[in-house]
Chains A and B, each alone.
Chain A
């Protein structure tokens, strides 16, 4: 019976070949792998893989170029939007994206993020927000929630000392150069499908030269940094991250979404 079903003509889903066969360096259950695959799915569906150049950040996804089977550059910490600017200005007809975490994009790279968006660079920025520095061992990020514990806020983030978590996505949505700004997640099949649509819209905007950055935030888990099982971390994310970082479109076609 199973043999009858498992036949090439019955194939319903298989990982895209734009993901390499290299084993992902991410922890079990980490959303990075899902987001990588969605991006490569989209590039494949848009038949754009010969014209795509990606920029990997510093952080857990520093090795994104090992997994995404397109031309890739690895940028210095926080500088991916500047690197992408350099590529896109010289190759305006190519598809250029950055893939960045919250430490990279919202702390050390805040200036590059804001100015690339303010210039309206016609690029896609995928921003993975898990509220922590994963790669370096779970330190506090600009997006770490109030009272949330990390290795550099072992008693919880004290907002009197460290300030409130930075809602960089809402912040950049105010800039005229931001054309499409959305916040998504990938912890359930329904959310995965919505995120894929968002990523596809972002790349389609770039192809159509809509004039501005398409910015997709994905709120994700960090079970190692949060010290939970993968499934627990997804539940914790729903209960704690989503109230502070609500999902949904923030700006569509250059217009802020009013709720």
Chain B
């Protein structure tokens, strides 16, 4: 059965750590890093990469537009 797999790329230096994306993710992919970026923000990252379905929810609620989403139909 074909399965949709997704991935996000966070522009770490532009992320302001607002966490709005965290609650928007239906599969609880996103966590906030323990580290901080150059501005001192804990940035968003894929805490559970396997769970991402590429739905783009996180990207469209991100006020700063720092999330890019990729999606691929996996046949394996």
The chain A residues found within 8 Å of chain B, CB to CB, are: 1-2, 4-7, 10-15, 19, 23-24, 26-34, 37, 186-189, 192-193, 229-231, 234
Instruction: Name 14 A/B residue pairs within 8 A (Cβ), A-sorted.
Output: A1-B5, A5-B54, A5-B71, A15-B59, A15-B65, A26-B64, A28-B63, A29-B20, A187-B61, A188-B24, A188-B61, A193-B60, A230-B20, A231-B22
Report B39-76 CB contacts with A as 1/0, cut-off 8 Å.
00100000001000011110111111111111110000
The chain B residues found within 8 Å of chain A, CB to CB, are: 5-7, 9, 14, 16-20, 22-24, 41, 49, 54-57, 59-72
User: Is the Cβ of B64 less than 8 Å from the Cβ of A10?
Assistant: no
Closest to B73 in A: A10
5 closest Cβ pairs, A-B complex: A29-B18, A33-B63, A15-B65, A28-B16, A28-B18
Closest to B16 in A: A28
Number of residue pairs across A and B with beta carbons under 8 Å? 96
Closest to B17 in A: A28
User: Is the Cβ of B5 less than 8 Å from the Cβ of A231?
Assistant: no
| A-B contacts besides A5-B6, A189-B56, 11 pairs, CB < 8 Å | A2-B7, A10-B72, A11-B69, A12-B54, A13-B59, A13-B69, A14-B69, A26-B64, A29-B18, A33-B64, A192-B60
Instruction: Among B16, B57, B63, B69, point to the contact of A31 (Cβ < 8 A).
Output: B63
A28 to B64, CA, bound (A): 8
User: Is the Cβ of B68 less than 8 Å from the Cβ of A14?
Assistant: yes
User: Is the Cβ of A5 less than 8 Å from the Cβ of B18?
Assistant: no
A13 to B56, CA, bound (A): 6
Given contacts A13-B59, A29-B20, A230-B19, contact A24 B64 (CB under 8 A): yes
Q: Shortest Cβ distance from B11 into chain A, in angstroms?
A: 9
A65 to B56, CA, bound (A): 26
User: Is the Cβ of A29 less than 8 Å from the Cβ of B60?
Assistant: no
User: Is the Cβ of A5 less than 8 Å from the Cβ of B70?
Assistant: yes
A21 to B57, CA, bound (A): 21
Q: Shortest Cβ distance from B58 into chain A, in angstroms?
A: 8
Instruction: Among B9, B49, B60, B66, point to the contact of A189 (Cβ < 8 A).
Output: B60
**B-side contacts of A29, CB under 8 Å:** 16, 18-20, 63
Of A5, A10, A19, A31, which is in contact with the most chain B CB atoms at under 10 Å from its CB?
A5
**B-side contacts of A19, CB under 8 Å:** 65
A5 to B50, CA, bound (A): 11
A2 to B7, CA, bound (A): 7
A39 to B57, CA, bound (A): 17
Given contacts A23-B14, A192-B60, contact A231 B20 (CB under 8 A): yes
Closest to A27 in B: B16
A231 to B24, CA, bound (A): 11
A26 to B41, CA, bound (A): 14
Q: Shortest Cβ distance from B55 into chain A, in angstroms?
A: 8
**B-side contacts of A11, CB under 8 Å:** 68-70
Q: Shortest Cβ distance from A148 into chain B, in angstroms?
A: 22
Q: Shortest Cβ distance from A133 into chain B, in angstroms?
A: 19
Closest to B52 in A: A5
